[in-house]
Structure 1
Amino acid sequence: MNFNLPVEANDYVKSLVAQGRYQSEEEAVIEGIRLLKGREELRAKIAVGVSQLDHSESFDELTVFADVEEEIRRAESSGNQG
């Protein structure tokens, strides 16, 4: 895929490489796409959560924290067996 970035974006990518933050312009752009993908995945998860709330499919915080603490206890106890 070949494309031209707007001047401002191109200059920014070049400055990231010049600062040593990325080894190449391609690496910087790939990281940007990875972050964009993560943002879109988060938006999808939020949409699911909003839909669940709209349908009264939610849990109170005490239930959630109790479940998390139980998972931690199980993980810690299974990790101590070896």
Structure 2
Amino acid sequence: MNISFTPELEQFIQSQVANGKYASTEEVVVAGIKLLEERESIYKGRFEELRREIMVGVKASERGEVIEGETVFHQLEQKLQQRRQQTGE
């Protein structure tokens, strides 16, 4: 497989090898691909977590356990004000 890099990326890769962080260009590319795999895994996990949280909300809504949006926003504003007071913002 042949891969072409922009001059900026090629310079970055060469600097990583020159600094001794990696032994070769291939190691830099493999490290980048592994980071991409990790990121995709994290995103997939977060997506599934959000899906479960949404289903909890949908089921609560079906049971009639809902709060008016205006009330929710008011509660969020209060929490934000409390945090700002605690942190001195």
Unaligned ranges ≥5, structure 2: 10-28
- The yes-or-no answer on 1:44 pairing with 2:48 is no
**What one-letter code is carried by the residue in structure 2 that aligns with 1:56?**
G
CA distance in 1, matches of 2:70, 2:77: 10
TM-score by length of 1: 0.66
- Runs of 4+ off more than 2 Å: none
Counterpart position of 1:73 = 81
CA distance in 2, matches of 1:51, 1:76: 33
Task: Give, in angstroms, the shift of residue 80 of structure 1.
Answer: 2.5
Task: Give, in angstroms, the shift of residue 51 of structure 1.
Answer: 0.4
CA distance in 2, matches of 1:37, 1:54: 26
- The yes-or-no answer on 1:54 pairing with 2:62 is yes
Unaligned ranges ≥5, structure 1: 1-10
TM-score by length of 2: 0.61
Quote the RMSD (CA, aligned, Å): 2.6
Q: Alignment length, in residue pairs?
A: 65
Higher relative contact order (CA 8 A, sep 6+): 1
Structure number, greater radius of gyration:
2
CA distance in 2, matches of 1:68, 1:40: 25
Task: Give, in angstroms, the shift of residue 44 of structure 1.
Answer: 0.4
Task: Give, in angstroms, the shift of residue 42 of structure 1.
Answer: 0.6
3-state SS, counterpart of residue 24 of structure 1: helix
CA distance in 1, matches of 2:33, 2:87: 42
